[in-house]
Amino acid sequence: MTPIALSILILCFPRDLVPISRFLYSMVVEVLGNLDAGDKLAVLGNHDQGDGKKTELRLVRELERVGIRVLRNSSQKFVRGRSSLYAAGTDDYWISCDLKQALREVSPNEFKILLCHSPDVRQDIKSGTKIDLTLCGHTHGGQIAIPFNFLDLSKAAMAILA
């Protein structure tokens, strides 16, 4: 069987990029920068922003140095042929998330992917705001959310139920 070659348009990192030890993040940045893919996008998580402005800005500089665009309450348009989509990204929800600013330059009818670290951003998505896909990284092993807040399960909750 011959493997199928895929052309990656966007590679997204909606999670904490700084490991528990901030002294290891140079290694993380180099590994991510060496991934062979299309455009690489990241958003900051609580660990990335929670260690002070100096560390946060250094991380952003390092990511951008290796070709990873950090979406800080901003968006980027991607065009392939006659089709286009926007990737919008926010800072961490609990620190400096501004969803309105991230979507400011995006037409309501455009296809939108939202990158945000915390799934709590869903609380700020107003009725009528069209987000086609939201990618989050602060899920601690995965979450299942059934619409209308009927049931919300995480690994921790499932362990309690077991």
Q: How many domains does the chain have?
A: 1
29: CATH? 3.60.21.10
User: What secondary structure does DSSP assign to 40-58, as a single string?
Assistant: EEE---HHHHTT-HHHHHH
Residue 129 lies in a domain: yes
Query: Per residue in 50-64, pLDDT tens?
Result: 777 888 898 899 889
Asked if residue 3 belongs to a domain, the reply is no
Name the pTM for this structure: 0.76
Its domain, for residue 30, covers 10-161
Residue 56 within a domain: yes
pLDDT tens-digit readout, 75-129: 999 988 898 999 999 998 888 999 999 999 999 899 999 998 888 888 788 777 8
Rounded-to-integer distance, Cα 91 and Cα 98, Å: 7
* Greatest distance between any 2 Cα atoms in the chain: 50
Order of strands, sheet of 10-13, starting from the edge strand that comes earlier in the sequence: 10-13, 39-42, 68-70
With respect to residue 1, please indicate whether it lies within any of the assigned structural domains: no
Q: How confident is the model at residue 155 (pLDDT cuts 50, 70, 90)?
A: very low
| 148 located within any domain | yes
